[in-house]
Structure 1
Amino acid sequence: MVATSLIQRLLWVCQYPGFSKSLLGPYENVGVIQGRIPSSAACQVFYPAAADSTSNKSLPYFRPRAVQGLAEYSGMDPNLFQFLSWKRHPCQVHAPPAVGEFPVVLFSHGLGGCLEMYTDICQQVASSGMIVVALEHEDGSGCFAETADGQEIRYKSPSSKEPYSRNKVVNFRKDFLEHRAREVTRTMEFFLGGWKDEKNLDMSSNGVYETTTDVWKQVLEKVDTKKGVALFGHSFGGASMVYTMQREGQDQTKVLDGVNSVTMLDPWAFALDKKLIEKGSQSSVPYLSVLSEGWVTNPETEQVLELHVDNPDNLYYMPHSRHASFSDSPWWLPRVITRRFGLRGKKEARHETIAASAKACINHMKASIKCYQKGGSITEMDTSGLAPLLPFPYSTTELKLPRAQQLSSQKM
């Protein structure tokens, strides 16, 4: 107990976790609010803030109860993670938004995630002139969530009795995907105009945040619905966005017509059935996937390649990175620890994966917005300055691993 207390205090003194020092976009200030979307889920919203804005609130980066959920999910001592709730949020809490109108991006977290887990990449995308809504799914796939009536939801594990297989994953995760898709669709409805109903502006929040209706309304009035909505997700969150677009038997066509793009970081397409993947590969909505080195070298890459069979040019990978590199977790602890636990690549420079992948995602979203407004298709995405991000398939010489074509032919 004493040792744990000393470690967490040392981490706090050394200013862990560490966030990106500079933002990619023209908006140097990014604001943040938290609340609950009516009939959907809690969320954290990142938006371009006024240039002269300063935060008048000092709120924690991680909610204390989310820390407890994270510890339970990871099997670690919750006291070890307390410093996450001591850290001040890196964005301008409740800051007035910048002048202008901004398109909306909905972000879906991966397994074991929560609304704080991707703060770094969300603020990078928001700095480019977008409103990023990081949802906290209540399907039981995250480390923590809380319902509107205050009920806590923790991670639900699959049965260990049945051997791991694709069939087991697809069957077990289907209900999770359906729950997430409903939350995404309802959130889209809200941002596409549902918020204008005054009764929906009572954005009661949970945790330590106390977001007022006035702040929410200021941000919502900056939403540019003419540019559509971008779907964005990591791992199971990427699969969730594909599922949302391709599921059948749902009266949601009008809402999904407002989607301008789907952008994914290490999508866990393994959790999707074959029919959904085939439909996704033929989607008229432009897809982009950015993969970590750790993700392209596992046998479950096959489904990602199938998802991009009709648009292979929109597939990139990041050398030396790991699956967790797109989240905040590699920067919570010193390098020697995160590398030891596989959260960060041995040759991965600080924040380079976040910066490179965020730039590719921003470029894809902007190109998608242009084609959405013109009613055409993406003919060219700005690929300048994406290094060290590389097009897929990757160099066998560099990685000393099988080529993508060989990986995709492996037996499950």
Structure 2
Amino acid sequence: MGGTQSLALQQGKGPHQVGCTDVMVGHTWQGLLLRLFYPCLPQGGAEQPLWIPRYEYCAGLANLTLLSCSAPLISLALGSCRVPVSWNGPFKPCSTGYPLIIFSHGLGAFRTLYSSVCLELASWGFVVAALEHRDHSASATYFCTAEDGREEWIPYQQVPQGQKEFYFRKKQVHQRAEECVRVLRLLEDISSGKSVPNVLHQDFSLSMLKGSIDLSRVTVMGHSFGGVTAVLALVKEPRFSAGHPSCCRCAVALDAWMFPLENALYPEVTKPVLFINSEKFQTPESIAKMKRLSSRNSQTKIITILGSVHHSHTDFTFLTGKLFSLIFGARGTLDPYKGLEITSQAALAFLQKHLNLQEEFAQWDNLLEGIGDSVVPEAPFCHPNL
């Protein structure tokens, strides 16, 4: 099996301990399922959540990699991996409110596969809502019906035969951006003290979040398909525009897959975006689309992490066994912890600037200009010195 498989995630480097819980609202596919990462109070002997929460997600990953017979193998090898956070840990109140990050996963992923970056950002004083999309882009997801609580699973869907991929993905990315908007509305309700029933009945009261989320400081973040989802979310809905008390001020796009964003929308993206790219995924055409946005807004930044691959932004890069790292193409030449450090520090510097945070994240501002170890501005094939 290529050696013992384990998930070598580290605790966040920020000053806060991190808790997490799952939230499901609604009894149809139009509801929401997300994992919340948040600063929590210390708790001795806290339970840590499973990284892959259900066997159905193993089956989804197996189907996606065209290794359907490997679902039991994935479950056996990875089913016991846990995330180093406090499951349903006691929320740490904050009188000024924590800024909010809404996180959108990539194609074929689900809400827990970016736990490394989500818990890292939460440790620096953010509430991170990692959404699980229901547009058939997750490897698997589900909702519970109202009648009997029966689970309805939503499988991953390939592009239908005979349909152009652009139009199929465009429809998905618009649904995804609308789901991000609904997460903001949900967190508005929770923060204002409205009673929001959690279908999953977790041992965590959402009422603890009342008054502790700063909805004037919101960003959308995502990887790959989630990266372009974050860009579209900036223009999707009026409450994501300047002037609304709950507004998204910027986006952070990790190796964004720009393909599904229609040309007519580019002029509407007026807010700053931080594009953090891997060395091995982007094309000149994709970089040109990012530069269309940076040419309109000098605060939009494009950087590339050298030695990284597309899955370097996911938790797969932290798998210690060789087999699954090979299956998922998860490892570049850069140490994964160094890659996470660059990603999180660049994101924190960008968020300090555009969310007007009173932190010390400006110490990493050089990263936003592509200055630093293993980072360059724009892309290697665009960079004059490479």
Measured against the shorter chain, the TM-score band is 0.7 to 0.9
Q: Does 1:353 align with 2:336?
A: no
Q: Does 1:80 align with 2:70?
A: no
Specify which structure has the higher proportion of helix. Answer: 1
CA spacing shift, 1:170–1:126, aligned 2, 3 Å = same
Give the SS at the match of 2:98.
Answer: coil
Matching of residues 220-235 of structure 1 within 5 Å: 220-225=210-215, 227-235=216-224
* 1:48 counterpart SS class: strand
Unaligned runs of 5+ in 2: 146-150
CA RMSD for the aligned pairs? 2.7
**CA 23–389 in structure 1, closer or farther in 2 if over 3 Å, else same:** farther
Match of 1:309 in 2: 295
Match of 1:173 in 2: 169
CA distance in 2, matches of 1:329, 1:243: 26
* Paired AA for residue 204 in structure 1: V
Deviation at 1:85, TM superposition (A): 2.1
Q: Deviations over 1:201-257 (max 9, x none)?
A: x1112xxxx51352x2223442122x321111111111112222224xxxx313544
Unaligned segments of structure 1, at least 5 residues: 1-6, 163-167, 374-379, 396-401, 406-412
Contact in 2 for aligned 1:66/1:144 (Cα 8 Å)? yes
Deviation at 1:138, TM superposition (A): 0.4
Aligned residue pair count: 359
State the Cα deviation string for residues 72-93 of structure 1 (Å, max 9, x = none). 1122211221132212232111
Residue 47 of structure 1 aligns to a residue in which SS? Answer: strand
Does structure 1 conserve the Cα–Cα contact (< 8 Å) formed by 2:7 and 2:82?
no
Name the CA shift for 1:381/1:186 in 2 (closer, same or farther; >3 Å). farther
Q: What residue is the counterpart of 1:188 in the other structure?
A: 184
2:288 aligns to what SS in structure 1? Answer: helix
| 1:408 paired residue number | none
CA distance in 2, matches of 1:204, 1:196: 20
Pairing 1:276-291 to 2, within 5 Å after superposition: 276-280=265-269, 283=270, 285-291=271-277
Aligned with 2:141 (options 145, 160, 167)? 145
Q: Check the 8 A contact 2:133/2:176 in 1, yes or no.
A: yes
Alpha-carbon deviations, 1:125-155, whole Å to 9, x = none? 1111000000000010110111242211111
Change in CA separation of 1:60 and 1:382 when aligned onto 2, cut-off 3 Å: closer
Contact 1:47 1:131 in 2 (8 A): yes
**In 1, distance between residues paired with 2:168 and 2:79?**
33
C-alpha spacing 1:297/1:275, structure 2 compared with 1 (3 Å): closer
Pairing partner for 1:60 from 39, 46, 50: 50
Find out whether 1:41 has 2:42 as its counterpart: no
Aligned to 1:323: 310
- The more displaced of 295-304 and 147-156 is 295-304
Name whichever of 317-326 and 65-74 sits farther off. Answer: 65-74
User: What is the TM-score when the length of structure 2 is the normalising length?
Assistant: 0.84
How far does residue 344 in structure 1 lie from its aligned partner after superposition? 1.4
Are 2:12 and 1:23 aligned?
A: yes
- Is the counterpart of residue 237 in structure 1 residue 226 in structure 2? yes
Distance 1:102 1:361 in 2: 16
Alpha carbons 2:103, 2:129 under 8 Å: kept = yes
- Percent identity of paired positions between Structure 1 and Structure 2: 21
Kindly indicate whether residue 259 of structure 2 is the aligned counterpart of residue 270 of structure 1. yes
Aligned CA distance change for structure 1 residues 337 and 361 (closer, same or farther; 3 Å)? same
Give the whole-Å Cα distance in 2 for the aligned partners of 1:298 and 1:328. Answer: 27
Mark the CA change 1:305 to 1:334 in structure 2 (over 3 Å): closer, same or farther: farther
Paired amino acid for 1:253? P
CA change 1:203–1:330 in 2 (3 A) is same
- Structure 1 residues 292 and 197, CA, compared in 2 at 3 Å: closer, same or farther? same
Structure 2 residue aligned with 1:398: none
Contact 1:295–1:301 (8 Å) recurs in 2: no
User: What is the CA distance between 1:160 and its match in structure 2?
Assistant: 4.7
Q: Which structure dedicates a bigger proportion of its chain to strand? A: 2
Change in Cα spacing, 1:189 to 1:341, as seen in structure 2 (3 Å) is: closer
- 1:159 is matched with which residue? 160
Confirm or deny: 8 A CA contact 2:113 2:316 kept in the other structure.
yes
Residue 91 (structure 2) aligned to one of 69, 88, 97: 97
Cα offsets for 1:245-288 (capped at 9, x unmatched): 224xxxx31354411211110111111111112322xx0x2211
Q: For residues 159 and 109 of structure 2, what CA distance do their matches in structure 1 show?
A: 17
Distance in 2, Cα, partners of 1:173 & 1:296: 18
- For the structure 1 residues 121 and 367, does the alpha-carbon distance in structure 2 shift closer, same or farther, using more than 3 Å as the test? same
Task: Kindly provide the amino acid, as one letter, of the partner of residue 403 in structure 1.
Answer: C
Q: Measure, in 2, the Cα distance between the counterparts of 1:387 and 1:99.
A: 35
Aligned-partner Cα distance in 1 for 2:4–2:160: 36
| Residue pair 1:293, 1:321 contacting (<8 A) in 2 also | yes
Residue 387 of structure 1 pairs with residue 376 of structure 2: no
User: Is the contact made by 1:235 and 1:265 (CA closer than 8 Å) also made in structure 2?
Assistant: yes
2:79 corresponds to which letter in structure 1?
A: S
CA contact (8 A) 1:357 1:389 kept: no
Structure 1 residue 195, shift from structure 2 partner: 5.4
Does 2:103 align with 1:107?
Answer: yes
- CA–CA distance in structure 2, aligned partners of residues 155 and 341 of structure 1: 17
| Aligned amino acid, residue 272 of structure 1 | L
Deviation at 1:381, TM superposition (A): 8.4
2:195 and 2:207 in contact (8 A); partners too: no
Residue 157 of structure 2 aligns to a residue in which SS? coil
Work out whether 1:344 is the aligned partner of 2:323.
Answer: no
* Matched letter for residue 141 of structure 1: S
Change (3 A) 1:297 1:54: farther
